[in-house]
Amino acid sequence: MPSRSAQDWIRLSLRTPGILIFGMVLVPCGWVLNLTATVAPNWRTLHDIPNTPSVEFIEQGIWDICRTTTISQRPECNLQDTTYFNNQIIEVAQGLMVASLIVTLIGLAVAIPGVRCWKSEPNWTVAGLGGLLFFLAGVMTIIPIAWYTHIIDDVATVSPVIDVRVGYCIILGYIGGIFEVLGGFVMFIGICRCCGGKNRGERRVEDVMGPQFTQKPPPRPVIVPSLNRARSNVSSVPYSQDDDVSFPRAKSPAAPSANSSYSGRPYDADL
């Protein structure tokens, strides 16, 4: 779509555009889910452990390992398993999950000033930058979650006969990462005008007001008054018709009368 100036578009309303509301709702929800997936020790569960009761199982996360039973609500945590924590995926997951949480918070700090609805229109550049950070945070969540799920049976265990199951943290991590990816992507596309400007709640001025609204009015003619006045053919002033009479001339002094023989100074007797 060809670029157009800001004056060529009009907002349909002063409310916050839907794409920004969509992103600002999904991203905080995804952040809460990712936080739960990061701190909770339930990336996978180990069942049917040899020499243990059938009701007992182990929950393993990226920070802690707990032993619990189906009949007890108090798990025993802080179990040591050096072999498990030395897996490469554990170190990668710890770094990426924490980085994802931090990047999401930075994205919220950037996006909120651009999305604020008490202005006439949002700052699309700032809001789009916040959306890009949300997208990256979601990707950083999905990478360790998907990697851990792919090798969930290959992560070191005490015995090959143990029943390995996916924990709820994997499900929450997937949902939270997808929320952040979708919310960040939708907010980022607000930087550009697409779909006829409808993605930003905008339409062209000519589509709303008509094409005649955008046409420039013809220049107003400027009338300069003329200094030339109409010439009179009956004028008694002795000057040529070709002379410029655009301004009045001073009257010539009257000629002295020929019958008057006195040209001296007047005296009191004469009054």
- Give residue 229's pLDDT: 59
In the chain, pLDDT over 70 holds for what percent of residues? 64
pTM, to two decimals: 0.67
- Give residue 198's pLDDT: 62
User: What is the assigned CATH class of domain 15-208?
Assistant: mainly alpha
> Of 43-47, 174-178, 195-199, 208-212, where does the model show the most confidence?
174-178
* Structure confidence by residue, pLDDT tens digits, 145-160: 999 998 888 776 656 7
For residue 116, what pLDDT band results from cuts at 50, 70 and 90? confident
Both tokens of residue 124?
């699309």
- Stretch 46-51: mean pLDDT: 82
For residue 84, what pLDDT band results from cuts at 50, 70 and 90? confident
Q: Given a cut of 50, is residue 1 above it in pLDDT?
A: no
- Give residue 249's pLDDT: 58
For residue 54, what pLDDT band results from cuts at 50, 70 and 90? confident
Q: Given a cut of 60, is residue 205 above it in pLDDT?
A: no
* Structure confidence by residue, pLDDT tens digits, 170-202: 999 999 999 999 999 998 887 776 665 666 666
List the domain boundaries for the chain.
Answer: 15-208
- Give residue 183's pLDDT: 93
Q: Given a cut of 60, is residue 127 above it in pLDDT?
A: yes
Nearest to 180 by CA among 24, 39, 40: 24
